[in-house]
Amino acid sequence: MNIDTKKKLYKLCLDYIENKIDGEMFAMNAAQESANSEDKNSAGDKHEAGVAMAHLENEKYAKQIAVSYELKKVLHQINVEKNYSEVMQGSIVSTNHGNFFIAINIGNLTLEGETYTTISLASPLGKELFNKKKGDSFYFRDKFYKIISVI
The reported pLDDT for the residue numbered 45 is: 58
Which position has the higher pLDDT, 54 or 90?
Answer: 90
pLDDT category of residue 55 using cuts at 50, 70 and 90? confident
Contact by Cβ (8 Å): 14, 75: yes
**Among 17, 5, 2, residue whose Cα is nearest residue 111:** 5
Identify the band that residue 60 occupies on the pLDDT scale cut at 50, 70 and 90: confident
- What predicted TM-score, i.e. pTM, was given to this entire model? 0.82
The answer to whether residue 43 scores a pLDDT higher than 70 is: no
Least confident among 19-23, 53-57, 67-71, 131-135: 53-57
CA distances from 43 to 48, 49, 54 (A): 8, 10, 15
Mean pLDDT in residue range 120-130: 96
- The whole-angstrom separation of Cα 17 and Cα 55 is 24
Q: In the predicted model, what is the mean pLDDT of residues 9-21?
A: 96
The strand pair at 137-140 and 92-95 is best described as: unpaired
d(CA 5, CA 87): 16
